Structure formats: C-alpha cells, structure tokens
Amino acid sequence: LKDDAKKSPVRTSQNAPTPFQILYFKYATAISTIPSSTSILTTALILTMSLSLQPGGSSTRAPPTGTLSAPGNAVTTRPITTGTSVLGIKYRDGVMLAADTLCSYGSLAKYKNARRLLPVNSRTLIGGSGEYSDLQAIDDLLRRNALEDRCTADSLYEEENDAEDCAKEVWSYLRAVMYNRRSKMNPLWNDIVVAGFRQNDDGSTSEEPFLGIVDKIGTAYEDDILATGFGGYIALPLMREKYRPDMEEGEARALLEDSLRILFYRDCRALNRVQIAKVTRDGGVLVSDPYELDTYWDFKGFVTNKGEMGTDGGW
C-alpha cells in the first residue's frame, strides 16, 4: 500500500492538477488496482491514504488537518461574520438597494454599523449578504478593476469615455469569479446584488436599469425585484405584490423600508439600523448614511398569547 501511494508522480506546484483531479485520479486508480479478493480493510485504507495529498509517502504525512490540499491552503467551510438580507428594486429613475447595517457573529450582534452597500464605480452599486470578509474581498477586487480601467483608459476625463464597467459587466465578471472559486471548493460565501444600468452597444450607459444577483456557487440571474437570504421568504412576496414598473422614488423607498421593518420583526439576525442606496441615470451612485427605522411592538399578535386570542393557537 505504501508503494501504491508513493507511485504517484512528484508534481511541481505550478503544473499541479487541482486537488480534485488528483483525488479522483488516485481514487479511480486505487479502486481499479484492487483485486476483487482484497479485503475491505485495504480498500478503506487506500481511500484514507489517498485523501491526504502531500507528496513523500504515507509515512511522512501528518494526520489530515481538516484541509483538502497542501498545508496552508485552507478552504472556506462556513461563514463566520455574516450579513443578512439585501433587497433590490427597480423604479422609474433607476435602481434602489436596501440593507441593514448589522454583521452578526453567529448569534452575537457584533458590528452594528457595517456597510453592506458599496459603490464599485460611478455607475455600479453592489450589496452583499453572507460572509463579510468575503464581501470586503470582492469590493477590493472590483474597485481595483475599476481603478485599472480608469488608469488605462484613453482619456483622463470620465465623461469622454465609458471605460467604467457598467452593472451588467460587473455582474458577469462576478459570476465568473464566484464560479471559479466554487469549482476549487473554496467559495466566497456571499449573495451579491449588483445594481446599475446596462450598456448600449456603443459603450454609452443605457437608459435601461439593471438589477442582478450572483450567489456563492455562481448562480446568476436578473429581475425587477430581488432579495437575498431571509428577504427571499419575507420581503420578496411583499415586494412582488406591490411592485409596479414605474414607481416613484418615494414609493420604492417606502416599500423597501417596510420590508426591512418586517425583516427586523421576524429575522433574528436583522437590525432596524438600515441603509438605502440608489443608482440613477443623472445622479450616479448615492449611498445614504445609516439611520434607524421606527418599529411598533404593540401589535396584538406580538403582545397577546396566541392561545388567548381566539384563533386556532400557535405561538
């Protein structure tokens, strides 16, 4: 068995196949070389040995430390510091996003002034839920791209060329990034909403607003109203009910605020301190400062024991 493990060729880090490919290769070859009379013990041992991928033979291998690839390349297994729902809605003048400013550390409401709605360039806005550090990494990445675009553009004057990525480009790019990471089994644990405008074929900003979403495995789609996480269950049905294609800014904002308020009532990891952001044709990207929503806790349903309310019960 030791020889079997040692037989795998030594690979340099540059041309190393992905851990998956090595693993499957070993898996497949290991299984195919077992004669049918071999005991289950050896099967299991071969499997376990082939699971740690360090070169040098089984005798030099440390016990699996909980990572798949070589030491130092840990993968994301679960989100630690998380943001909850992000809501997005198209309206007459553009697109509006809303999110609260809470980052939870499990059940601890740790950071109550975190920014989850982030401008990427002068005409694109992203909102992220899920792991906050991954959101910051995505923000760095997108702003670095935006900076490079500006630096390598033909003209230093923004108006003279549309070198900046429009929202749809950012969305497509982000989808490729997320897919790539999930294919390495090391996802960026986020659901990202991208808001802005489309781009015409000649490069100018289109009149048509764009609202799209990318999730942690790269599922990407666009729609008139979007929500991530809990918002999909609580806010999205309400928004679908009330949505009209040519809503005024005030209406859209009221709808989003109501949805955030209801999320605060019902989502354990939500907060009533919220931020709204919008992208408009003329005004570019605008992100509000955080502010508190008023909440009302005297609903009979919140106060009275359900059993005493004369309804069928529940809690």
Residues in touch with other proteins (CB under 8 A): 19-21, 23-25, 28, 31-32, 40-41, 43-45, 47-48, 51-52, 63-68, 75-78, 175, 178-179, 182-183, 185, 187, 189, 217-221, 223, 232-233
**CA–CA distance, 170 with 121 (Å, rounded to integer):** 10
CB of 228 to other proteins, least distance (A): 10
**Annotated catalytic residue within 38, 76, 82, 205:** 76
Q: Nearer Cβ to other proteins, position 173 or 179?
A: 179
Find the shortest distance in angstroms from Cβ 219 to other proteins: 5
Helix (H) or strand (E) holding 174: helix 167-183
Nearer to other proteins, 81 or 280 (CB): 81
Residue 83 Ramachandran class (φ > 0 left, ψ -120 to 50 alpha, else beta): beta
Are the CB atoms for 101 and 269 separated by under 8 Å? Answer: no
Q: Are 260 and 88 in contact (CB under 8 A)?
A: no
Quote the CA–CA distance of 278 and 97 in Å, as a whole number. 6
- Select 235 or 285, whichever has its Cβ closest to other proteins: 235
Q: Which of 43, 304 has the CB closer to other proteins?
A: 43
Provide the minimum distance between the beta carbon of 116 and other proteins in the complex, in angstroms, as a whole number. Answer: 20
Query: How far is 279 from 298, CA to CA, in rounded Å?
Result: 36
Give the nearest distance from C-beta 223 to other proteins in angstroms. Answer: 5
Q: Check if the beta carbon of residue 197 is closer than 8 Å to that of residue 120.
A: no
Residues in the chain: 315
The tally of CA atoms less than 13 A away on the side-chain side of residue 281 is 14
Give the residue with the Cβ less far from other proteins, 28 or 254.
28
Give catalytic status of residue 76 as yes or no: yes
Bridge-based pairing state of the strands 81-83 and 124-131: antiparallel
Catalytic residues: 76
